[in-house]
Amino acid sequence: MSPSPEAIAVAAILVVVIAAYALFGGADFGGGIWDLLAGGAGRGAAPRELIDESITPVWEGNHVWLVFILVLTWTAFPAAFAAIFTALFVPLSLSVLGIVLRGSGFAFRHTAQRLQMRQLTGAVFAAASLITPFFMGTVVGAIVTGRVPVRPAGNILSAWTSPTAILTGFLFVAACAYISAVYLVLEARQRGHQDLTRYFSRRATAAGVLTGGLAGGTFAELSTSAPYVFHRLTGIALPLVAISIAAGIAVLGMLWLRWYHAVLLRAMAAIAVATVVFGWGLAQYPYLVPTSLPLAAGSAPTAALVAEFVVAGLAVLLVAPAFAFLYILQQRRMLTAAESDADLRLATQLEQAPPSQPAAVPPPAGTAKTTALVLAIVAIKVIRDALSRSHRR
């Protein structure tokens, strides 16, 4: 039984969403890892500030990819979802623990006032950034090695503690650190921080080498622990693996030559990571869990798959313009964190002293525009009144 085209299409969407999460969410986790490794309060202040500035605007949006992964999986491939969440209860619970700690650490560290509280929430944020990708990696490792049975009778410790799964966990951590460091090189450069550019360039190189090594190790391990996936990786998915390796080397070369091309460097790093995800997806085909649960058997009824397709279309249709709006506003510097309430406070106090002047308060922003708007409204009213009077006559 071969899988339906709908199932293949939704599986492809799922792989793309996973790649997006690896690129965006992964970079956020990586930021947390570099935060953790930045050293003492004095030495680490500058890189931490850069990390913070880079993650602040995006962490929430990047987080939504994960929710889409979960929802897509349980809607389109419910059998696989149930099996994975039962067998891998422990690493999945630990990864969500990391997400809670990380998210709330992030939400509160910006509002915490006392230094100790800030340090505590910052530490929680950073440590959680390490936990989450590691355990997500072990989950993927367990799936790739086919150690998730279709009907698990409970959680299976050995599924995610195999050498391959543990290696994959470390690989995920290294890849997050790598992609994040590359982005941070460009963020630092964009802001004109020469020293920070070099700082993250060194780290990106180190993380790149480490990621490559771990990838090689995992690859070698797969030859015995996951023969089916290994066979496909060295067969049909080989071009993707080759592209990933080439892009990875290109990034290292660009860093070595200090050729910090904003688009090219980012694209190369993204390609290096995304092609691994695509390669994994292709290597597993046609299995949801290699060699035990095929796509055809584990897919939802066609209408549910089509509905997910429509949802993906709607997401593009609704979310993309919203993102574009946000992006344009950012580019035009219409959004600013440092807002002053001084004008309003002053106005409130003035208002209380002479209560007879409620309308004298100056408008908060864009005075000229507001005046023009008010004038326009007044003009329209006058014309309308005149017209309605002439009608009555």
Partner 1 sequence: MGAMAHVLAVNPVPARSQMGSSLGFHIILACFGIAFAAICMIAEWIGIKRGDAAALLLARRWSKVMAVLVAVGAVSGTVLSYEMGLLWPGLMGRFGAAIGFPFSMEGIFFFLEAIFVGVYLYGWQRLPPWVHWWSGMPIVVAGILGALSVVAANSWMNSPAGYTLSHGKLTSVDPWSVFFNPSTPYETAHMVLAAYMVTGFVIAGVYAVGLLRGRRDRYHRLGFAIPFTVAGILAPLQVLMGDIIARFIASNQPVKFAAMEYVSKTTRDAPEWIGGILINGHVYFGAAIPAFDSILVGFSPHTRVVGWDSVPAAYRPPLPTLIHLSFDLMVGIGFFLFALAAWQGWWWWFHRRLLLTPWFLVPSAVSGVAAVAAMEAGWVVTEVGRQPWIVYHVLLVSNAVTSASGVPVTLAVILVLYAILTVVSIGVPMNMSRRWRLETPAEEEAEQVPYGPPPPGAWASSAGLSAPPAVPRASSGGPEAQ
What distance lies between CA 40 and its chain's CA centroid? 27
Closest separation in Å from C-beta 264 to partner 1: 21
CA–CA distance, 184 with 35 (Å, rounded to integer): 12
Is 38 one of the binding residues for partner 1 (CB under 8 A)?
A: yes
Is 36 one of the binding residues for partner 1 (CB under 8 A)?
A: yes
Is 304 one of the binding residues for partner 1 (CB under 8 A)?
A: yes
Restricted to residues 81-140, the positions that interact with partner 1 (CB under 8 A) are 81-87, 89-90, 92-93, 96-97, 99-101, 103-104, 106-113, 115-116, 118-123, 125-127
The residue written with tokens 């309003």 in the block is: 344
> Across-strand partners of 294?
287
Q: Looking at 222-230, 236-244, 365-373, 382-390, which segment touches partner 1 (CB under 8 A)?
A: 365-373
Closest separation in Å from C-beta 237 to partner 1: 28
Q: Which is nearer to partner 1, 62 or 218 (CB)?
A: 62
Is 325 one of the binding residues for partner 1 (CB under 8 A)?
A: yes
Contact mark string toward partner 1, 168..207, x via CB under 8 A: ----------------------xxxx--------------
DSSP state of 300: P
CA–CA distance, 209 with 362 (Å, rounded to integer): 59
Closest separation in Å from C-beta 73 to partner 1: 8
Is 149 one of the binding residues for partner 1 (CB under 8 A)?
A: no
**Total residues at the site for partner 1 (CB under 8 A)?**
127
Q: Say if residues 201 and 175 touch (Cβ distance below 8 Å).
A: no
Q: Out of 263, 358, 389, 391, point to the residue binding partner 1 (CB under 8 A).
A: 358
Q: Say if residues 84 and 222 touch (Cβ distance below 8 Å).
A: no
Restricted to residues 60-89, the positions that interact with partner 1 (CB under 8 A) are 60-61, 63-64, 66-68, 70-72, 74-76, 78-79, 81-87, 89
Residue by residue, DSSP assigns 47-68 as HHHHHHHHHTTTHHHHHHHHHH
Give helix then strand counts, H and E, for the chain: 17, 2
Q: Looking at 32-40, 200-208, 229-237, 269-277, which segment touches partner 1 (CB under 8 A)?
A: 32-40
Q: Looking at 41-49, 162-170, 173-181, 234-242, which segment touches partner 1 (CB under 8 A)?
A: 41-49
Two tokens, residue 300 = 């939802």
Helix (H) or strand (E) holding 288: strand 287-289
Among the listed residues 98, 161, 106, the one whose alpha carbon sits nearest the alpha carbon of residue 133: 98
Q: Which is nearer to partner 1, 90 or 267 (CB)?
A: 90
What residues have CB less than 8 Å from 97, skipping those under 6 apart?
128, 131
